[in-house]
A and B are shown apart, each in its own frame.
Chain A
């Protein structure tokens, strides 16, 4: 077997183990070195993954594990998210208890995400998801002295266990009816399997599990609580890596394993998407905690992304991938600021951000860029992704009223989002009451993380071409989907 296909995963695991071992010899006073080391390692792997070192396409473990354009696309972003998040931990190396373990857990979660990007089998998908989820149980409740963090951890544990139970039950049903768990093999028999109710129920339950992961309505209730309670850095990783991993798997299941059934269920995805984006947008209006607001915003964004999947087309998947690419940079920039503020003031209430424009221009810029991009305003990354999504949905609006309604609902969602994002921006630059105006110090690592993310947001917003080309390749590589893609756009019109 060609082990080079797993080179990234193996190296990253070794890096994680190295971090744990390094903690035994590195003195406590030089703890920062661990964070820097882990970040450097992730950075090297990132350049390796997007550079010439990327393994050639192929499968391993009898088709369980696949390396293709889609997996490479996601792996780049997962490593990037890990790099930025690790950089953010450096400034808090003294306050996080068990700092080395925290870094190692981030790395292990990233390994799970890399496996998720390459999973081509329901079993590997489950294992990868569990690796991500179980590490996050710990990461979410890492702030042991704060009851909010523990509460969030317990909530995430219960909800995650429930989701896993759904998923494993669904996989059992799928295996029972199909006799295989491999995506390609299922795709080959999907027309007969589509008539088997047991298979369909199994698939539906698996999607429930994934729905929890991406926080789509009606499986969204954990997200705001967990986002708010977890340490800000964990939330950053949860909102980017974990969410993107959910979408990577959703795309694979939907378009590699069961493209025909997905085309039938297009309306289901559409309704879920509309409900999700409206729920997230409406609930975000009243929030005072910025972390909680980001939780609802992340729900709303899952809604937009689901619309792209509901479009069941190459353009739709391309839009989802492009959007996710911009979204990761955007959210990382936002959380870099939120975690710096939370560390400095101990609060994530909107009032803690009042007057940030004077207290720290770089933090203010970072959060503003992030929120403006999330609101989908040019020239930021969020705008182009949203436009591609709208365009993909619009392609069906001519033949199906549902899509037209979804299009208008998305417009309403964007307008609402403008209101709550600008509420925070207002507080940053033009606070109602004169707040504490002491300068907030920003250390080099956070600064680097911020500059990286801001540059990414602008680069994708102004020169989106390379990302779109990559996303299109990745979307086209959703293997059996290519055969179906040509006729898929017409498919959702009936049934």
Chain B
């Protein structure tokens, strides 16, 4: 399967659903399920066919689109995005599976969901940054609509409003940064491969770097939920239907990080040095502050939302460290967290539907009634607090290793925040939710049937596979990470080392 075929499958599915009349509900579901399954299988085959140990782009495809403005349809995978593409299509499949019982306007729901899957795949596959933005936006709009229409809770209008405002403004500020990159580089293109060659020859002036990077960090950081621009996330996920929360928290949110990895580190080496420490401080805001907020939550969604923000803190820390190890770690976390977030939101969605509540104070003792969902949730929560054996552990550890040299204090704080705080709220949630006496009349329907287990099993299997066999990912990531971080490590680690030495001397 070529990358274009992979990208077009969900869109073709959306078109097919559109063409089938509204009263054939089963057909809509079937088409959506089949196309997302084909996408997932295609992504697995591409992942398997990806040559390890090679740094360049593979499966590349190019077609001129607007030659007059220098934009092209350029797809390709390297170590940065191959794992993300796989993760996105697996999550897409799982999200389609859990949407089986959507009752209201299922046709429109599936069209939007497939557009979202296609859009996020397109964002990861596109090497032209213009198209990356294009697809990201294409996936974001369905998110807002799905939240507004199929969302839950009394708060959903406000939450939808907030998330729309934050994410659109963030995306536009990021777009301004990209537009500036286009004009200031003088390359007159946003094609990443061309830009990389061009900028290796003629790096951006430090003035331009200091102008553009803050816009990129602010804009794309907001898309990821960088502290203090994170307040949209938890209420947003609480209001979103399960599939949307899975797709956004798992996949779409990673696009911002992905852009920063691709663009900020190789193209703005000088300015990244300036911004590394502030970024690391904000990352600590995510890890510690959002972790602390999660500690106080009694609503499962708010808890998961904040915990997911705390995980993003690790990514920002790795980004600030920006070495080969740091970058590898960020990609690992992005893949692992995508699977994990989708898994947790899916499972919690199932429990909420079965019990009619997501309030920890009203639930308890659910493990007996929900042996499968409950067991899977325990595994997800353990993965969330970084227990070895799940992919998250590898990622977080790698980031901490990568960041040790530049930010030892932050690493200690992050390890403490991530592991201790995370452990406390996750274990407490397990206790309150799954153990103890069962509340009277709280259970309306039972555990997931064999078919309903498929999405959760797929995600869990991937999480454990990458946990016990991280080399399958790392071998694919490292060569590219070396190339991306290489430009910087040569100059940056030395300056960091000297900076560290001088600051120590000053104390």
A48 close to B (CB within 8 Å):
no
Q: Mark B113-138, 1 if CB is under 8 A from A, else 0.
A: 00000000000000000100011011
Query: Which residue of A383, A407, A465, A472 is within 8 Å of B65 (Cβ)?
Result: A465
Given A387-B179, A391-B182, A398-B211 contact (CB < 8 Å)? yes
Task: Give the size category of A's interface with B.
Answer: 20 to 34
Contact yes or no, A472 B68, CB < 8 A: yes
**Interfacial chain A residues near B387, Cβ < 8 Å:** none
| Chain A: minimal CB distance from B146 (Å) | 12
Q: Mark B201-242, 1 if CB is under 8 A from A, else 0.
A: 000000110010000000000000000000000000000000
Contact yes or no, B176 A390, CB < 8 A: yes
Q: Mark B165-203, 1 if CB is under 8 A from A, else 0.
A: 100110011011001101110000000000000000000
Contact yes or no, B134 A379, CB < 8 A: yes
Count chain A CB atoms within 10 A of each CB in B65, B144, B165, B168 and give the residue with the most.
Answer: B168
Contact yes or no, A465 B180, CB < 8 A: no
Query: Which residue of B64, B144, B173 is within 8 Å of A411 (Cβ)?
Result: B173
Q: Mark A373-400, 1 if CB is under 8 A from B, else 0.
A: 0000111000110011011011101100
**Interfacial chain A residues near B165, Cβ < 8 Å:** 415, 419
| Chain A: minimal CB distance from B5 (Å) | 19
B69 close to A (CB within 8 Å):
yes
Contact yes or no, A412 B169, CB < 8 A: yes
Contact yes or no, B180 A418, CB < 8 A: no
Contact yes or no, B183 A394, CB < 8 A: yes
Contact yes or no, B69 A394, CB < 8 A: no
Q: How many A-B contacts at CB < 8 Å in the complex?
A: 80
Given A395-B183, A398-B183, A418-B168, A387-B130 contact (CB < 8 Å)? yes
Given A395-B183, A397-B180, A414-B168, A468-B148 contact (CB < 8 Å)? no
**Interfacial chain B residues near A390, Cβ < 8 Å:** 175-176, 179
| Chain B: minimal CB distance from A48 (Å) | 26
Residue of A nearest to B205 (CB): A398
Query: Which residue of A388, A408, A426 is within 8 Å of B148 (Cβ)?
Result: A426
Alpha-carbon separation in the docked complex, A465 to B207 (Å)? 32
A477 close to B (CB within 8 Å):
no
B164 close to A (CB within 8 Å):
yes
B66 close to A (CB within 8 Å):
yes
Query: Which residue of A372, A383, A415, A465 is within 8 Å of B169 (Cβ)?
Result: A415
**Interfacial chain B residues near A418, Cβ < 8 Å:** 164, 168
Contact yes or no, A379 B169, CB < 8 A: no
| Chain A: minimal CB distance from B179 (Å) | 4
A469 close to B (CB within 8 Å):
yes
B149 close to A (CB within 8 Å):
yes
A464 close to B (CB within 8 Å):
yes
B67 close to A (CB within 8 Å):
yes
Q: How many residues of B contact A (CB 8 A)?
A: 32
Contact yes or no, B138 A391, CB < 8 A: no
Contact yes or no, B137 A377, CB < 8 A: yes
Give A458-485 interface residues, CB cut-off 8 Å to B.
463-465, 468-469, 472
**Interfacial chain A residues near B44, Cβ < 8 Å:** none
Residue of A nearest to B172 (CB): A411
**Interfacial chain B residues near A415, Cβ < 8 Å:** 165, 168-169, 172
Alpha-carbon separation in the docked complex, A387 to B131 (Å)? 12
**Interfacial chain A residues near B281, Cβ < 8 Å:** none
Query: Which residue of B67, B135, B138 is within 8 Å of A465 (Cβ)?
Result: B67
Contact yes or no, A465 B68, CB < 8 A: yes
**Interfacial chain A residues near B161, Cβ < 8 Å:** 419
Count chain A CB atoms within 10 A of each CB in B69, B168, B173 and give the residue with the most.
Answer: B69
Q: Mark B80-96, 1 if CB is under 8 A from A, else 0.
A: 00000000000000000
Given A387-B130, A415-B169, A468-B68, A398-B138 contact (CB < 8 Å)? no
Residue of B nearest to A396 (CB): B183
Contact yes or no, B138 A379, CB < 8 A: yes
B141 close to A (CB within 8 Å):
yes
| Chain B: minimal CB distance from A175 (Å) | 39
Contact yes or no, A468 B176, CB < 8 A: no
**Interfacial chain A residues near B134, Cβ < 8 Å:** 378-379, 383
Contact yes or no, B207 A468, CB < 8 A: no
Query: Which residue of B149, B169, B208 is within 8 Å of A430 (Cβ)?
Result: B149
**Interfacial chain A residues near B130, Cβ < 8 Å:** 387
Contact yes or no, B148 A465, CB < 8 A: no
**Interfacial chain A residues near B148, Cβ < 8 Å:** 426, 430
Contact yes or no, A411 B169, CB < 8 A: yes
Given A387-B130, A465-B67, A468-B66, A394-B179 contact (CB < 8 Å)? yes
**Interfacial chain A residues near B173, Cβ < 8 Å:** 408, 411
**Interfacial chain B residues near A429, Cβ < 8 Å:** 149
**Interfacial chain A residues near B169, Cβ < 8 Å:** 411-412, 415
Alpha-carbon separation in the docked complex, A407 to B215 (Å)? 11
| Chain B: minimal CB distance from A379 (Å) | 7
**Interfacial chain A residues near B67, Cβ < 8 Å:** 465
**Interfacial chain A residues near B164, Cβ < 8 Å:** 418-419, 422
Q: Mark A167-202, 1 if CB is under 8 A from B, else 0.
A: 000000000000000000000000000000000000
| Chain B: minimal CB distance from A26 (Å) | 42
Alpha-carbon separation in the docked complex, A397 to B66 (Å)? 24
**Interfacial chain B residues near A422, Cβ < 8 Å:** 144, 164
**Interfacial chain B residues near A388, Cβ < 8 Å:** 69
Alpha-carbon separation in the docked complex, A395 to B179 (Å)? 8
Query: Which residue of B69, B149, B179, B180 is within 8 Å of A468 (Cβ)?
Result: B69
Q: Mark B47-90, 1 if CB is under 8 A from A, else 0.
A: 00000000000000000111111000000000000000000000
Contact yes or no, B176 A411, CB < 8 A: yes
Q: Mark B240-257, 1 if CB is under 8 A from A, else 0.
A: 000000000000000000
Residue of B nearest to A468 (CB): B68
Alpha-carbon separation in the docked complex, A183 to B350 (Å)? 71
Residue of B nearest to A412 (CB): B169
Give A273-297 interface residues, CB cut-off 8 Å to B.
none
Query: Which residue of A397, A412, A419 is within 8 Å of B211 (Cβ)?
Result: A397
Q: Mark B139-164, 1 if CB is under 8 A from A, else 0.
A: 00100100011000000000001001
Residue of B nearest to A397 (CB): B180
| Chain A: minimal CB distance from B182 (Å) | 6
7 shortest interchain CB distances as A-B pairs: A394-B179, A395-B183, A411-B172, A468-B68, A391-B179, A394-B180, A465-B66
- 8 A-B contacts, Cβ less than 8 Å apart? A372-B141, A395-B183, A397-B180, A397-B211, A407-B179, A411-B175, A422-B144, A426-B148
Which of B's residues lie within 8 Å of A, judged by CB? 64-69, 130, 134-135, 137-138, 141, 144, 148-149, 161, 164-165, 168-169, 172-173, 175-176, 179-180, 182-184, 207-208, 211
Known contacts A390-B179, A412-B169; 7 further A-B pairs (Cβ under 8 A): A377-B137, A378-B135, A383-B134, A384-B66, A397-B211, A411-B173, A430-B148
